[in-house]
Chains A and B, each alone.
Chain A
Amino acid sequence: DADVTQTPRNRITKTGKRIMLECSQTKGHDRMYWYRQDPGLGLRLIYYSFDVKDINKGEISDGYSVSRQAQAKFSLSLESAIPNQTALYFCATSSGNQPQHFGDGTRLSIL
C-alpha cells in the first residue's frame, strides 16, 4: 500500500462546484503539504500544516481551503471551482529536515 494516498486520482467537474481532495498517510510524519503543478510552472505550495492545530497558507492559497482532521489526514477543498484551477495536485509529507514524500497525485479538470 502507498504511504501517502490521495483520492480521487482523477476528477472532472464543472465551474462553480465544490470539490474536496483527500490525503492520508501511514508514514507517521507530522507535516503535510498540498501543491499544484502546472506545465512549465513547477510545484507551487497551496497550504501546509505542521500538526492538527496548525494550518498555514502557501504561495497560492486563494480559492482553496484545507482541513487537518487528524495527524494522518489532510484535505484540500475548492469551494467554487474555476477552470484555471485545472491542474495536477499533490499531497506531500515530511518530518524535520528530511525529504518530502509525495502521493500519486490527483488530476483535476474543471470545465
Chain B
Amino acid sequence: QKEVEQNSGPLSVPEGAIASLNCTYSDRGSQSFFWYRQYSGKSPELIMSIYSNGDKEDGRFTAQLNKASQYVSLLIRDSQPSDSATYLCAVNPVGGSGTYKYIFGTGTRLKVLA
C-alpha cells in the first residue's frame, strides 16, 4: 500500500460544477495535511492546509479531513477552466519539529470542460 494514494485521473467536470478530489494515507499518526495545485511544467502551489478533523473553507476551496477513516479531500466549487491542473495531496506523518517527511501523492489530474 502506498503511503499516500490518489486516483491519477483525469477527472473531468463541466465548468461551474463541483470537483471532488480524494486522498487516502496509511500512517494513522499523521498530523498535517496539504493540498497543492500544479500546472504542467510549473512548481506546486499550496492551496490548503488542514490539521484537524472536519471542514476548512477558503473561497471556492474546501478541504475535508477524516482521521478515523484516513482520508482527506478537496472540493472545488464553481469549477473554472483555469482550475485544470494536477492536484497533489501531501501528508506530514508526525507533527512538530521532529520529522522531515512530507509524503506526496502522485496527484490527480483535473480537467474542467468549458
Contact = CB atoms under 8 A, between A and B. Distances in A.
Interface of A: 31, 33, 40-43, 48, 50, 56, 88, 90, 94, 96-105, 107
Interface of B: 31-32, 34, 41-46, 49, 51, 88, 90, 92, 95-97, 99-100, 102, 104-107
Given A104-B42, A107-B41, A40 B96 contact: no
Given A94-B102, A99-B49, A43 B88 contact: yes
Contacts of B99: 97
B100 A100 contact: no
A42 B106 contact: yes
Mostly, the B contact residues are loop
B46 A105 contact: no
A46 to B, nearest CB: 12
A88 B100 contact: no
Contacts of A31: 100
A21 to B, nearest CB: 14
Residue among A41, A88, A94, A102 facing the most chain B CB atoms (10 A cut-off): A102
Contacts of B41: 88, 105, 107
